[in-house]
Amino acid sequence: MHTPDWMARGQPHIWLPYAQMKTATPPLPVVRSHGSRLELADGRSLIDGVASWWTACHGYNHPHIAQAVRAQLDAMPHVMFGGLTHEPALNLARRLAGMLGPGLDRVFYTDSGSVAVEVAMKMALQFWLNQGERGRSRFLAFRGGYHGDTFGTMAVCDPDEGMHSLYRGMLAEHDIVDLPRTEGELAALEAHLEIHGARLAGILVEPLVQGAGGMLLHDPEVLRRLRRLADRHGLLLIFDEIFTGFGRTGTLFAFEQAGIRPDIVTLSKALTGGTLPLAATVASSRVFEAFWSDDPSHALMHGPTFMGNALACAAANASLDLFESEPRLAQAQAISTALAAGLEPCRELPWVRDVRVLGAIGVVELDGITDREALKRRLVDAGVWVRPFGNVVYLTPALTIAEDELASLMRAVVDVLRQRRP
């Protein structure tokens, strides 16, 4: 592989994510992106099956977003959000409230998914404190879950699969239990809540698919059960839609498929169409009202420096324009149908445990991956960018991916997996 000069000189100074720096394969130098394509420094072009960690829902370099960001850059890239405000942030808040529907109508901006979840947790804890209840300091979260890498969020990830088991004993303690998929698991959860419900502030879950914890799907009925249990015990229900939000599961938000509403929802990833970092924690009026007071100590004490960044809000507004003007949900449905058919041949391979599809998410679960780096290399050699983790190879392409590109992407995955046990 050709290594450009800037990489040879910069690489000794960079610390990469989720990587043993001594042994990790060097990252691929990307010089340009467009549509569903990544162009490498050596001239190769890869079809992107990941959409940059599920962010680039409109594909790369959509001209409408580019134009909106350029115009905002000329007018005002950023001003502090403490004591100042601006049109892109308030327009975006109003539009998000409109899209999320009645009740979910107070938007708090941050700049990453993890921090959006931290803010949701702070909101839930203080919701109770502001009402004089001091004993509700824990959350109910689920095995298989992933909510981020910060200290607050590590504590609500799956304690074994969530990449953070090293920190055991150093994190806040929460109740991490099985999702109530079966009647037995539901009964166990009901019993747990009868005993421990009064010490909980809320229930935190990724609706319909637990992403980074293993691409594990669950039925909308699970979410209805959680809503009923939250109501019975007076708990706040928090949906982390950082992965699922903006069409990924086939509806704009995953919770729509369950016909119920959370009390708080977190959004990021596809919010700006994958262009700029931005996240939002959106609270219901019930949550917000617990902070509405003459007592200054009842205020939410949080305020990231780049909160409500005007460039990011302009990008997000442009991204929402595209959800209104282009058929993203129909595209997600078409991708879903194609993934189900295109990945089906993997099911016959003796080392494949499961093939599952939800919206524009296609997952091949293997019984193990011995050499993940080698598998990734073989996929790159086949012309696609796919990043296997744990035991899964998954596809979450841009919702705008062309039919022939999606077909090539799936063919590459099937061929590479078929060659030999990975």
Ligand X SMILES: Cc1ncc(COP(=O)(O)O)c(C=O)c1O
Residue 211 engages ligand X in binding (rule: CB under 6 A): yes
User: Strand, helix or coil at 175?
Assistant: strand
**Residue of the chain from 118, 240, 365, 405 that contacts ligand X (CB under 6 A):** 240
Residue 117 contacts ligand X per CB under 6 A: yes
Tokens of 84: 């100042």
Q: Does 113 bind ligand X (CB under 6 A)?
A: yes
Please select the residue that binds ligand X; options are 36, 112, 249, 317, rule is CB under 6 A.
112
Q: How far apart are CA 89 and CA 309, in angstroms?
A: 8
Active site residue 269: yes
Give yes or no for residue 206 binding ligand X (CB under 6 A): yes
Catalytic residue (choose from 146, 158, 175, 263): 146
Mapping DSSP to helix (H, G, I), strand (E, B) and coil, where does residue 211 land?
coil
Torsion over CA: 96, 35, 27, 361 (sign): positive
Displacement of CA 416 from its chain's centroid (Å): 27
Closer Cβ to ligand X, 206 or 365, answer by number:
206
306 belongs to the binding site for ligand X (CB under 6 A): no
Residue closest to ligand X when measured from CB atoms: 113
- Annotated active-site residue 149? The verdict is no
Cβ pair 108, 302 in contact under 8 A: yes
| Cβ burial, residue 164 (10 Å; 0-12/13-18/19+) | buried
From 8-16, 168-176, 206-214, 308-316, span contacting ligand X (CB under 6 A): 206-214
DSSP characters over 14-61: ---TT--TTTSPPPPPEEEEEBTEEEETTS-EEEESSHHHHT-TT-BT
Catalytic residue among 18, 22, 74, 295: 18
Shortest Cβ 231–ligand X spacing (Å): 23
Sign of the four-CA dihedral 411, 412, 413, 414? positive
Decide: is 146 part of the binding site for ligand X (CB under 6 A).
yes
The verdict on whether 240 is a catalytic residue reads yes
**Cβ at position 167, least distance to ligand X in Å:** 16
- Residue 56 pairs in a beta bridge with none
Pick between residue 35 and residue 247 the one whose CB is nearest to ligand X. Answer: 247
CA distance 207 to 13: 38
Question: Cβ 150 to ligand X, closest distance in Å?
Answer: 7
Judged by CB under 6 A, the chain residues 264 through 283 that form the site for ligand X are 268
Q: Distance of alpha carbon 326 from its chain centroid, rounded? A: 22
Query: Would residue 22 show up in a list of annotated catalytic residues for this protein?
Result: no
H or E element at residue 9: helix 5-10
Which of 111-119, 195-203, 227-235, 247-255 is the region at the interface with ligand X (rule: CB under 6 A)? 111-119
Kindly tell me which of 7 and 163 has the beta carbon lying closer to ligand X: 163
Stretch that binds ligand X, among 2-10, 235-243, 386-394, 410-418 (CB under 6 A): 235-243
- State yes or no: residue 328 binds ligand X (CB under 6 A): no
| Shortest Å, Cβ 244 to ligand X | 7
Work out how close the CB of 212 gets to ligand X at its nearest, in angstroms, rounded to a whole number: 5
Which range touches ligand X (CB under 6 A), out of 22-30, 112-120, 172-180, 194-202? 112-120
Spatial separation of the C-alpha atoms in residues 217 and 243, rounded to whole Å: 13
Q: CA 231, 234, 238: angle at the middle one, nearest 5?
A: 75
Of 115 and 314, which CB lies nearer to ligand X in the complex structure?
Answer: 115
Q: How many residues bind ligand X (CB under 6 A)?
A: 14
DSSP 57-123: TT-BT-HHHHHHHHHHHHH-S---SSS---HHHHHHHHHHHHHH-TTEEEEEEESSHHHHHHHHHHH
Residues marked active site are found at 18, 146, 240, 269
Q: Please report, as ranges, the residues that interact with ligand X according to CB under 6 A.
A: 112-114, 117, 146-148, 206, 211-212, 240, 242-243, 268
